[in-house]
Amino acid sequence: MPDLKDKEYSLEIEKKTAFDKAQEAKEIPVYMERLELTEDQKKAIIKEYLEEYDVLEEQRKLENLEQKWQALDNQYEGKIQEDARRQFNLNRKITKIKINKCTNLIMQAFFESDPIYAVSPRPEYDKEGGREVCDKQQDFLDYKLDNLPFRFPIGLTVHSSGVKGTGILKMYHDIKRVKRQREERYNGKLEPIRGKASNQPIMGKDGQPVMENRGLIEFLKNWPKAPEDYPGLVKKLMEGKEITIMADYWDTVYNDPRPKCIDLKNFRVRTDTDGYEGLKTTKLIDEIQSYSYWDLKREEAAGKFFDIDKLIEDKDGVKKKNYAKEDYIIHEATMFVKLKESDKDDIRIVFWIDEEKHIIIGAERYRYNLIDSIYVPFYINMKKPGCFYQPGMAEDLTDTNLAENLILNLSLEAAYIQNTVTPITDDEDVESQFLEKRFAHGVPIRAKVGTIDFLQKYMRPSDMNGLIGIMQYLIQTDDDVTGISSLMSGRESPIDPSAPASKTIALLEQSGISVKDYIMTISQSFNEVGYILLNMYYQISKEGRKYAINPERVVGNNPFATLERNEMAARTNIQTRAYAFDFDKVNEKKADVSLYQMVRMEPIIARRPESVYMLLKNIITAWSPKWKNALDQILPPLEQFKKEQAAVALQAVVQYVQAKKQEEATTGVQAEFKAEELVPMINDLIAQIATPVDEKVQKEQEKNAQ
């Protein structure tokens, strides 16, 4: 590696090994190169890894993280330890209700914002015309998030942050290649070339139709190396014969970044790691993975793993029984190491090591040049400075969830006892009638007067109103702790069902503020996902990538554009727009329409077609998904709208010139063109695109002009 002591940067020609070239032949990027390690290097790496891993495990045990997360999962799922003394052992599941509501709102705010990201140039880039690139990046990110499998893994990650306080999203480049087979037919018969417009044969200089071998052309297009690999097939087509082949080929079905939610139980890092910034420089990040034997062999065949057979052999080198049925626990370790004692700096590598035998079965240099960590932590709360694992919403609800479970079960038990007939008698017939469940209201009880009594007569009535009051107090505590009002579910208050609408609206607005806080906290992670996407595409792409343009920027009939490779790495600011999402759609519509009615006829708005356009566009897109999808049929794309304005401006210039020419012909004096006369005329015509002139005013203007 060149020395950077006297320079801010260095350039080095990339060297490719024979293994790299073999990988490229399989369409596997060179940056995924396997790292060849000596036995001494493996031993040194394993020793260093185990020492650091022991520290990570000790820290987890010290904070009881495994037990804590399991308890929070049980709390969310409503699993409780049953009390045999109780008639009811039910869970109110308030934790699930609150967390589901919050995480659903976060997902809605992120994925239903349009656009999902707002990309703006940095000050130094704005001067270089960076706004156009920002628009392209913004549309590119929207297109990829809509078409790649993002919603499910991000949903799991947000859910983990709600329950356990922390969620881990892994972003990695995934290539899926599937071996396929298809039958192909090619006819080597010469056929005339036809014109595209007339569909008639094109004639040559000799008056004969120009002929071509379409079968041969198509065959060579599909299989460019066929003249070298299968000259016999090419010869048959050149002789005008027909061939039928069965083609075996590898089809690349996925070649993009892939998000994956990592269970916290399978993730190891020092507990004092400072969030995402800390992950960029921490010594070791460890992810536990499970592989079947066939998965391992497939990865070995692909060149990613090696020495797989060592995992299935015992000390004597004999294969274990049922080795093919077992699951193998493999640790994917991202670690800074020195491969040589002479190395000045640690380098980051990724290796895979078996948990049981501590055998390295795969290694590579850290793949991503512009991404310091492919693991992104998601937090819904940030309460503990300098801690990687933050508290979640479930932890805040633990006490009230237990108390509400107790009140619920006591209330049910009280109601059950109060409504159950329990006789006190020595009469065996009466006793059997109740034990055999033959008693029902309306069925006579045969007993002598004074020989039967009932337990309810001596029991104190249950204070159901008091229990309901306590329950309501606990529910209010849940609302206060989480900031998520129970009224967001649409249910009325059991102790105040006639609460005025103003009270409900006030509570909803207060809940909205708390949800915004959660969104603002977790949006930092969403922003990192945007940066990682662009930087990963920059590295994995040899050229630009196509994407669907935002409809308002479509020019002509082509709805697609290309984000060039250098534009992917342009330094821009990427911010999720989830924080600006309005959850109360009904009130949002009313507010939008009210604003439109209030400002529509203001001169500064009425004379600016772009302002009227944006007001209408905002109302239509926010009204409902149906009208949002029909936006292009209601309003023209913004670029087209600007073209129409330019055409109107040109029309104004033409009218002005014609008027001056007519004036010149009438007076015989050469007309003088004045900008102060032309500009107001252009502005008036452009303003009429959005706000036509009143008929009376127009007639008065025409009269004055005459």
Split at pLDDT 50, 70, 90, the class of 448 is confident
pLDDT tens for residues 556-580? Answer: 444 556 677 777 777 788 888 776 6
Split at pLDDT 50, 70, 90, the class of 86 is confident
pLDDT tens for residues 185-238? Answer: 999 999 888 887 778 888 888 888 889 999 999 999 988 888 998 999 999 999
Split at pLDDT 50, 70, 90, the class of 1 is very low
* Contact status, residue 268 vs residue 285, Cβ threshold 8 Å: yes
pLDDT tens for residues 644-680? Answer: 888 888 888 888 888 878 877 777 777 777 777 777 7
Residues 6+ apart with CB under 8 A from 612: 600, 605, 606, 690, 691
Could you give the percent of the chain with pLDDT greater than 90?
29
- Rounded to the nearest angstrom, the gap between the alpha carbon of residue 507 and the centroid of all alpha carbons in its chain is 30
Residues 6+ apart with CB under 8 A from 594: none
pLDDT tens for residues 107-120? Answer: 988 888 878 888 88
Record the tokens describing residue 475, joined without a space. Answer: 């529910």
Instruction: Tell me: pLDDT of 280 over 50.
Output: yes
* Contact status, residue 453 vs residue 424, Cβ threshold 8 Å: yes
Instruction: Tell me: pLDDT of 391 over 70.
Output: yes
CA atoms of 705 and 322, how far apart (whole Å) = 99
CA atoms of 289 and 286, how far apart (whole Å) = 10
Q: Is the pTM of this model over 0.85?
A: no
Specify the pLDDT at position 217: 92
Residues 6+ apart with CB under 8 A from 49: 284, 333, 335, 351, 353
Cis (ω within 30 of 0) for the bond into 385?
Answer: no
Specify the pLDDT at position 508: 44
Instruction: Tell me: pLDDT of 99 over 50.
Output: yes
Instruction: Tell me: pLDDT of 53 over 90.
Output: yes
Specify the pLDDT at position 340: 84
Give the three-class secondary structure for 229: helix
Residues 6+ apart with CB under 8 A from 382: 390, 521
Range from 250-259, 319-328, 380-389, 609-618 carrying the lowest mean pLDDT? 609-618
Instruction: Tell me: pLDDT of 69 over 70.
Output: yes
pLDDT tens for residues 224-254? Answer: 888 998 999 999 999 999 999 888 888 888 8
Give the three-class secondary structure for 149: coil
Record the tokens describing residue 495, joined without a space. Answer: 């102790």
Ranges 13-17, 191-195, 603-607, most confident: 191-195
Whole-number Cα distances in Å, 26 to 13, 32, 302, 364: 23, 12, 9, 17
Whole-number Cα distances in Å, 292 to 230, 295, 306, 330, 350: 39, 5, 15, 10, 21
**One-letter amino acid of 83:** D
Specify the pLDDT at position 84: 82
Specify the pLDDT at position 494: 47
Say which residue, 672 or 176, is predicted with more confidence. Answer: 176
Nearest residue to 448 (alpha-carbon basis) of 431, 465, 425, 466: 425
Instruction: Tell me: pLDDT of 619 over 90.
Output: no
The bridge status of strand 284-292 relative to strand 267-268 is antiparallel
Record the tokens describing residue 446, joined without a space. Answer: 């045969």
Find tokens 């969620």 and name the residue: 167
Give the three-class secondary structure for 166: strand
Specify the pLDDT at position 524: 92
Split at pLDDT 50, 70, 90, the class of 617 is confident
Specify the pLDDT at position 504: 41
Specify the pLDDT at position 506: 47
CA atoms of 126 and 144, how far apart (whole Å) = 25
Split at pLDDT 50, 70, 90, the class of 63 is very high
pLDDT tens for residues 477-522? Answer: 877 777 777 765 444 444 454 444 444 444 445 555 678 888 889 9
Specify the pLDDT at position 7: 46
Sign of the alpha-carbon dihedral angle for 492, 494, 499, 503 = negative
Say which residue, 66 or 630, is predicted with more confidence. Answer: 66
Could you give the percent of the chain with pLDDT greater than 70?
84
Say which residue, 651 or 290, is predicted with more confidence. Answer: 290
